[in-house]
Amino acid sequence: MGAAKIIDQPYPSMTVFYLKLLFTPALMLAISLAGQRWGTRLAGLLSGLPVTSALVMLFLSLEQGTDFALVAVPGALAGVAAVQAAYLFYFIAAQRAGVLVGCIAALPVYGTTAWLMSHEGGLPGSVLVAVLLIASIIVLTSKQARAPAARLVPVPRWVIPMRMLTATLLLLAITASAQWLGPVASGMLAPIPVIAWPLTVFAHVQGGSQEMGKIVRGNALGGVGVVGFYLTLEFSMARWGAGLAIAAAVVLAVAATFTLARLLDKR
């Protein structure tokens, strides 16, 4: 006999709201400081992990119920594919047309890819496209990977508070409007790279295309963990419940990301 299905009932409360205000900026601060301390390579890996995604899925399950969060998973995987498409486009375009043009042009790439994947690709298509894009980024950034260890790229003092505030506001906006947006759109917004995108742009402006390439590569490696994160939720959330499934998915994402990075380093 299989394990009994665990059903989490939604329970909106001020306690959940305070948890959002506590955990979201604290995680953003920890990752930002770690990236500043140990350089762009680690910053790229850490910023590519499903930090915002895990928080969004956790609070969606707490407030809307496990079934709602589970339905959001295919939309989230469409968002993952869209994020990788935007990174790949930016990596290619910004080196030729500049940072500003690359940033502006990457936005419609993200939106178009997310829409196509959510409406036409489905879960298998989104996973396939995300993996192909990640592989393309890893191949294209191999030159940056062989370059000397990334130096620390200084950022203005206001950047870390900006990341903390942006991540918190994004989380509050998604979870507060979840019933209006629906699970698919809510899931699609979950992988938005609140930490990674500003980090990529600042690394490019201050460290050049080599430093930018290291961030983009780290985020692609993290993307493998993010795909694993959502697939773990897809196959375990209904059985284990949201809390245990999200915890297991985060552990898998971290292990997959750093294992892949280590294997590629040995090549």
- The residue ranges of every structural domain in the chain are 14-265
Q: Residue ranges of the alpha helices (H) in 141-241?
A: 142-146, 159-176, 178-189, 196-240
Phi and psi at 10, nearest 5°, equal: -65, 140
CA nearest neighbour of 258 among 46, 28, 59? 46
Interval 128-141 mean pLDDT: 93
Query: Are 222 and 199 contacting, i.e. CB atoms less than 8 angstroms apart?
Result: no
Range name among 130-134, 251-255, 259-263 with the lowest pLDDT average? 259-263
Higher pLDDT, 132 or 193: 132
Place of tokens 């390439």: 213
Query: Are 120 and 82 contacting, i.e. CB atoms less than 8 angstroms apart?
Result: no
Range name among 35-44, 124-133, 136-145 with the lowest pLDDT average? 35-44
CA nearest neighbour of 138 among 206, 48, 56? 48
Positive or negative: CA dihedral 68, 70, 73, 76: positive
pLDDT in tens, 182-219: 888 888 888 877 667 777 777 777 777 777 888 888 88
Interval 244-264 mean pLDDT: 89
What does pTM read for this prediction? 0.81
The DSSP symbol for 30 reads H
Place of tokens 């294997």: 263
- Which tokens in the block code for residue 64? 């809307």
Higher pLDDT, 213 or 248: 248
Query: Are 18 and 223 contacting, i.e. CB atoms less than 8 angstroms apart?
Result: no
Query: Are 198 and 162 contacting, i.e. CB atoms less than 8 angstroms apart?
Result: yes
The Cα diameter of the chain in Å comes to 59
CB atoms within 10 A of CB 23: 17
